[in-house]
């Protein structure tokens, strides 16, 4: 019985905090952040904002939406709660983590290299 309650409370937690449309406000590769690439980073950030890039997350799917069109959709697998504000999951051949900074902002890291700063 407690397993069912834990499962239900985790599902409710996910829906309230992680699920939804997240606007991408910044993106970078961890290895490439240095002063030399600052101009390139600013160009990428500007393009992300101009294209109205979003990540749409649910406990079943993760989608990328640009200019109001879904450009990529994958099935979420092996979703695990790490802490109250952090989950880890798999999609395609990738491992991702989603860490909330608040109810309306967070960071999605894919394969420990690509970082997406998101806001609701």
pLDDT value of position 13? 47
**pTM for the full predicted model:** 0.80
Tell which CATH architecture fits domain 2-119.
Answer: Beta Barrel (2.40)
Burial call 27-46: b when 16+ CB within 10 Å, e when fewer: bbeeeeeeeeeeeebeebbe
Q: Does 81 score more than 90 pLDDT?
A: no
pLDDT value of position 34? 60
pLDDT value of position 86? 94
* 8-64 tens-digit pLDDT: 444 544 446 899 999 999 988 877 666 566 777 777 788 888 899 999 999 899 999
């Amino acid at each position: 019985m407690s397993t069912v309650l834990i499962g239900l409370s985790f599902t409710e937690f996910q829906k309230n905090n992680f699920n939804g449309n997240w606007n991408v406000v910044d993106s970078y590769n961890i290895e490439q952040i240095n002063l030399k690439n600052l101009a390139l980073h600013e160009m990428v950030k500007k393009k992300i904002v101009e294209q109205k890039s979003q990540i749409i997350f649910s406990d079943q799917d993760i989608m990328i939406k640009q200019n109001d069109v879904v450009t990529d959709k994958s099935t979420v697998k092996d979703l695990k709660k790490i802490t109250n504000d952090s989950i880890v999951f798999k999609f395609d051949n990738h491992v991702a983590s989603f860490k909330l900074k608040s109810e309306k902002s967070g960071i999605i890291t894919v394969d420990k290299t690509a970082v997406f700063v998101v806001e609701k």
